[in-house]
Amino acid sequence: MSTPQFILDLREHIGHAPLWLPGATAIVLRPAGARGIRLEGEALASTDEDDATPSWTLPDGPIDPTRVEVLVVRRTDNGAWTPVTGIVDPGEPPFVAAERETLEEAGVRARAVRLLSQDVVGPVVYPNGDRSDFVDSCFLLQWVQGEPWPADGENTQTLFVRADQVPPMNERFLGCLQRALSGRPEAAFRF
């Protein structure tokens, strides 16, 4: 995972001391079998609102996992399969971070629909000795456009898979996916 500059700047002052950081997780769904074009260059950088309008609607209520695909990425640092995750930038709303990270990491434009869960993750101890705890906000995002590809090098693979065929991953992420598929409107604060 690429470390944001503001964290590198903080680390110059506090060394390896624990940091409390906001994180965002994106559960991105699209209709099974949908296809898009690969977003690169100017298309990847576009902030035009017309580019962020979904061409489909998430169903109300429970979602059949055989009828939707979920975006998954394989991390470069540890090889684990996860949804898109990232650190919220200073002053950035967490749902915007989820949308931004999805575009930056996977080349997929998606729009946040609702908060699925919020929980504490950590402590995380990095190989260099840095320590962090995260308050992670997991969001359901609706696919707008783009075919996934490892756009920023943080992942070795990015793909949409049918929601009932996700590769093995951390229980926290599977819980977020199950929450998204349940159709329940309220957020979970404990799994």
Region 79-104 average pLDDT: 98
Instruction: Please list, in sequence order, all residues whose beta carbon lies within 8 angstroms of the beta carbon of residue 107, skipping any fewer than 6 positions away.
Output: 38, 39, 40, 44, 146, 147, 148, 149, 151, 158
Of the two residues 127 and 70, the one the predictor is more confident about is: 70
Q: Please name the helix (run of DSSP H) or strand (run of DSSP E) that holds residue 72, with its range, or none.
A: strand 68-75
176 with 85: CB under 8 angstroms? no
- Of residues 182, 156, 178, 155, the one with CA closest to residue 166: 178
DSSP string, 112-164: EEEEEEEEEEEEEE-TTS-EEEEEEEEEEEEEEE------SSSEEEEEEEETT
* pTM for the full predicted model: 0.91
Domain assignments of the chain as residue spans, ordered by start: 19-46+61-182
- Which percentage of the chain shows pLDDT scores above 70? 93
Q: Are strands 81-82 and 68-75 parallel, antiparallel or unpaired?
A: antiparallel
* pLDDT at residue 50 in the model: 57
CA distance 146 to 151: 11
- pLDDT per residue over 146-187, tens digit each? 999 999 999 999 999 999 999 999 999 999 999 999 999 999
* pLDDT at residue 150 in the model: 96
- pLDDT per residue over 7-22, tens digit each? 999 999 999 999 999 9
CATH homologous superfamily of 19-46+61-182: Nucleoside Triphosphate Pyrophosphohydrolase (3.90.79.10)
Q: The tokens of 98 are what?
A: 């989820």
- Which percentage of the chain shows pLDDT scores above 90? 80
- pLDDT per residue over 19-63, tens digit each? 999 999 999 999 999 988 888 776 666 656 556 677 788 888 999
Q: How many CB atoms lie within 10 A of CB 111?
A: 18
* pLDDT at residue 39 in the model: 84
133 with 22: CB under 8 angstroms? no
